[in-house]
Amino acid sequence: MLQNISQKFHQWAKGGLVLGMLVVYGFFAGYMMPQMAAWMNSAAGQSVTPLDLMMYYTPQQAFEMMERYGEAGRSAYLTIELTADIIYPLSTVLFFSLFLSWLFQRGYKPGNAMQKFNIMPAGSWLFDLVENTAIIPMILMHPAQSAALAWIAMALGLVKWGFAFISLGLVLVGIVKAALNGFKLQS
């Protein structure tokens, strides 16, 4: 299954689609998500950090953040988790997987094992969605607290960030390798 997904990304990795996904990703990263953060901060009445943007936190820190959000901030956070934080990661995985595919097609010959790493951003996307399924109940059950759920959410977030950082590292490797080949499609 992963090989089929990898092959699809390679088939779709045409310049126009990669650029189109860059525009979509840029819109979400540069405009929509800052707007969502401003809305959450306004609703909370102060500057707050959503749990899914934190690399590490203890259950106690998670519960303190939930309290800081306030009722309106938690409501805004819940709305963001159920809408924008589903669409934004999807735009991220599509852009980065297509960009990696495009780079690796220019950096490595077909069949090279590196070609399969174009699906690495999908790991970040998957764990982001699963992390959300742990954060959403924490928001809904507040003021009740589940240390186990907080630890699970934090651990899923760590895995998500791990996939994201590995993906960024692969982009750098892909850029260097493709540049060494003059960005010419390898055959």
pLDDT in tens, 58-93: 999 999 999 999 999 999 999 999 999 999 999 999
Can you give the pLDDT at residue 7?
96
Q: Is residue 104 part of a domain?
A: yes
Range of the domain at 43: 2-180
Compute the mean pLDDT over every residue in the chain, rounded to the nearest whole number.
Answer: 97
Can you give the pLDDT at residue 143?
97
Q: Is residue 173 part of a domain?
A: yes
- The number of folded domains in the chain is 1
Q: Is residue 66 part of a domain?
A: yes
Q: Is residue 185 part of a domain?
A: no
Q: Is residue 19 part of a domain?
A: yes
Q: Is residue 13 part of a domain?
A: yes
Q: Is residue 187 part of a domain?
A: no
Q: Is residue 186 part of a domain?
A: no
Can you give the pLDDT at residue 15?
86
pLDDT digits (tens, 9 = 90+) for 19-39: 999 999 999 999 999 999 999
Report the pLDDT averaged over residues 134-154: 98
C-alpha distances (whole Å) from 71 to each of 36, 40, 42, 43, 105 are 16, 11, 12, 8, 49
Report the pLDDT averaged over residues 2-29: 95
